[in-house]
Structure 1
Amino acid sequence: MSIKNFIYVLLACYAATFLRLLIDNNLIISIVGSFLFGLIISKNLNSVTKKILLTGFFSCFTSFSGFIYFLYEILNQGNWIKFIIFLNLIITINLFTMLFGVWISSKFT
């Protein structure tokens, strides 16, 4: 990857982090990110553009650490049932949201 493309990845990371701070809701970020991720992966983009968007933007926007911290807080309260429900619910919702993004993208291509 060239220096120019590396700078684009860094700028995408910066933009995603800024948006994440503005929204400040892990569930909404996760759902929106999964939907947009689905839209991007189904598009016929060149590999550099996909790297910039998927590795740069979405890695920072839908940070896994935010999801883990949310689950940690539930576990810290000692609520195992709520933890299991949220873990499965969040993963399922995000998977189907991403698939919906892929489906929507295929309808417009």
Structure 2
Amino acid sequence: MKIKSFSGILFACYIGTFLRAFINNSLVVSIFGSFFFGFVIAKRLSYSREKIMLNGFFSSFTSFSGFIYFLYKIFNQGDWIKFIISFNSIIIINLFTMYFGFWISRKIT
């Protein structure tokens, strides 16, 4: 990997983390991240730009740890039905949101 790409990924991680610090809702961040992730995938960017956006920005902006912590709290309460419904609904909502971003991006170009 070239040093320019590596520094771009580090900068994108910084921006993603900085933005994530101001939004305290994991579901909102996850939905925005999924939408723009699908949008970027459909754009067919160069390899280095795609790595900067997907591996740098979105991996820092969307919070898998926030998602897991939310599910962990439900799991510790012993509410299995709520846990299963929350887990599946979050995954399904994010997949549809990502596809919608992909679809919108294809319609624009």
TM range (shorter): over 0.9
Alpha-carbon displacement from aligned partner over 1:19-38 (angstroms, at most 9, x marks no partner): 11101110000000000000
Stretches of structure 1 that go unaligned for 5 or more consecutive residues are none
Q: Which residue number corresponds to residue 65 of structure 1? A: 65
Q: Which residue number corresponds to residue 80 of structure 2? A: 80
Amino acid at match of 1:52: I
Q: Which residue number corresponds to residue 48 of structure 1? A: 48
Structure 2 CA distance for aligned equivalents of residues 95 and 23 of structure 1: 21
Please tell me the root mean square deviation across aligned C-alpha atoms, in Å. Answer: 0.7
Alignment partner of 1:105 is 2:105: yes
Structure 1 CA distance for aligned equivalents of residues 21 and 70 of structure 2: 15
Amino acid at match of 2:17: T
TM-fit CA distance, 1:55:
0.3
Structure 2 CA distance for aligned equivalents of residues 52 and 37 of structure 1: 12
TM-score norm. by structure 2 comes to: 0.97
Structure 2 CA distance for aligned equivalents of residues 65 and 43 of structure 1: 28
Number of residue pairs aligned between Structure 1 and Structure 2: 109
Kindly report which structure 2 residues correspond to 1:19-34, keeping only aligned pairs within 5 A, or say none: 19-34=19-34
Amino acid at match of 1:5: S
TM-score norm. by structure 1 comes to: 0.97
SS of 1:42's partner is helix
Alpha-carbon displacement from aligned partner over 1:9-58 (angstroms, at most 9, x marks no partner): 01100110111110111000000000000000000210000000000001
SS of 2:73's partner is helix
Stretches of structure 2 that go unaligned for 5 or more consecutive residues are none
Structure 2 CA distance for aligned equivalents of residues 84 and 3 of structure 1: 43
TM-fit CA distance, 1:65:
1.3
Moved over 4 A (4+): none
Structure 2 CA distance for aligned equivalents of residues 67 and 91 of structure 1: 10
Structure 2 CA distance for aligned equivalents of residues 106 and 2 of structure 1: 30
Structure 2 CA distance for aligned equivalents of residues 97 and 17 of structure 1: 21
